[in-house]
Amino acid sequence: MTSTTGKVIVGMSGGVDSSVSALLLLQQGYHVEGLFMKNWDEDDGTEYCTAKDDLADAQAVCDKLGIPLHTANFAAEYWDNVFEHFLAEYKAGRTPNPDILCNREIKFKVFIEYAEMLGAEKIATGHYVRQGQVRQGLASQGTDEVRPRLLKGLDPNKDQSYFLHAVPEAAIARTLFPVGELEKPAVRELAERHDLVTAKKKDSTGICFIGERRFRDFLQQYLPAQPGKIETPDGQVIGEHMGLMYYTLGQRQGLGIGGLADYSEDPWYVAVKDLERNVLVAVQGKHHPLLYTDSLATEAMDWIAGKPPVHKGRFTAKTRYRQNDVPCMLRTRDDGGVEVHFDTPQRAVTPGQSLVIYDGEICLGGGVIRDTWNALESIA
């Protein structure tokens, strides 16, 4: 194991992954301190209040490991740079992924600046990703340099590169990802062996820093619901929706449609959110062609290396977390976005979610999905 005296600030969430990250860095000889961030002010009238418990767990782990725990509140930055965008996306009829923005704007920006203030050159998180390096440029021209790369985590069930694709190269270079080289069961085992209180804590779900809440109630506090009609693709009205923002493409549950005289008993799925008319279009059958996407276009991409890959053409992509990579053709556009054509049509590709591009194990970057086309249409 390498021995170093460098100071590292570990983002301590009160979960098992960051607990074990701190442990591993101590074992590797780093000078480790923890930081618990509170980025959401919870007096918002709901009964959900997990930050207090999480802080207590983070403190217990730091006490056990004998390291100091700092606390910081970046709620203002979170509101301005993550949450307002999140609401704007819902308002625009899309389904955003705030954790991606949170990583770029908070965990790998404000956190790094704060760590610098504490005298640390590096931060560490419990994300399941790895770091690689490539040589770029030509030695003969003196432009030869080693550049960092974001790689998928070793545990394919836990890989979190999807959420980190918008983090720039310079921030990746300043971060250590100790559990990225491990599989989750090994992480829990280490926590148990070292008697860390988080060993058996269940994985966090919900939006980072906001946590698990009844999503509909939560959103309604910020955006007024606009009920409207549910229609079939040929315009028959078959029900009422509670507000387009509450529905996700491909969703089956919660439509309240059934027992219609002219239709079979097959379940209905959300196929289109028509924002202009405030209409939800539903189709019958999990594999209805309207649920499938052949091609898509994104907003401007965040390339980890700051620019698109040098070689063009075939890559793999994910259009949502926990999806197998799918082979695709990639074409860059002048507006900074890309167009992607999938080898096989993809189900329930959702505007507002992100397309993330991979070259083997390397995560190259990604962008928010803007438009999708299915086999019945083509890119204009």
Supply the residues annotated as catalytic: 102, 208
Q: 154-213: which residues touch ligand ATP (CB under 6 A)?
A: 203-204, 208
CB closest to ligand ATP, residue no: 15
Closest separation between CB of residue 364 and ligand ATP, Å?
21
CB of 78 to ligand ATP, least distance (A): 11
Distance CA 228, CA 212 (A): 27
18 contacts ligand ATP (rule: CB under 6 A): yes
Strands 69-73 and 31-38: parallel
Task: Candidates 8, 9, 12, 283: give the one binding ligand ATP (CB under 6 A).
Answer: 12
User: For residue 259, with 0-12 CB atoms within 10 Å meaning exposed, 13-18 middle and 19 or more buried, which class applies?
Assistant: exposed
Comparison of 58 and 364: residue with beta carbon closer to ligand ATP:
58
* Candidate list 125, 293, 350, 372; residue touching ligand ATP; CB under 6 A: 125
Q: Which is nearer to ligand ATP, 172 or 338 (CB)?
A: 172
CB of 203 to ligand ATP, least distance (A): 5
Task: Check the annotation: does 11 bind a ligand.
Answer: yes
The kind and range of the H/E element at 78 are helix 75-78
Q: How far is the CB of 265 from ligand ATP (least distance, A)?
A: 40
Q: How many CB atoms lie within 10 A of CB 203?
A: 9
In this chain, which stretch among 12-20, 89-97, 252-260, 265-273 interacts with ligand ATP, using CB under 6 A? 12-20
Q: Which residue, 283, 299, 292, is CA-closest to 371? A: 299
Taking CB under 6 A as the criterion, the residue among 104, 122, 127, 188 binding ligand ATP is 127
For residue 270, report the phi and psi dihedrals to the nearest 5 degrees: -75, 120
Interacting residue with ligand ATP among 8, 35, 210, 230 (CB under 6 A) = 35
Task: Please report, for residues 39, 77, 107, 145, the alpha-carbon distance to residue 72 in angstroms, rounded to integers and kept in the order given.
Answer: 8, 12, 12, 36
Measured CA distances, 76 to 10, 40, 72, 184 (Å): 21, 8, 11, 33
Contact 338, 108 (CB under 8 A): no
Q: Which residues make up each annotated binding site for ATP?
A: 11-18, 37, 126
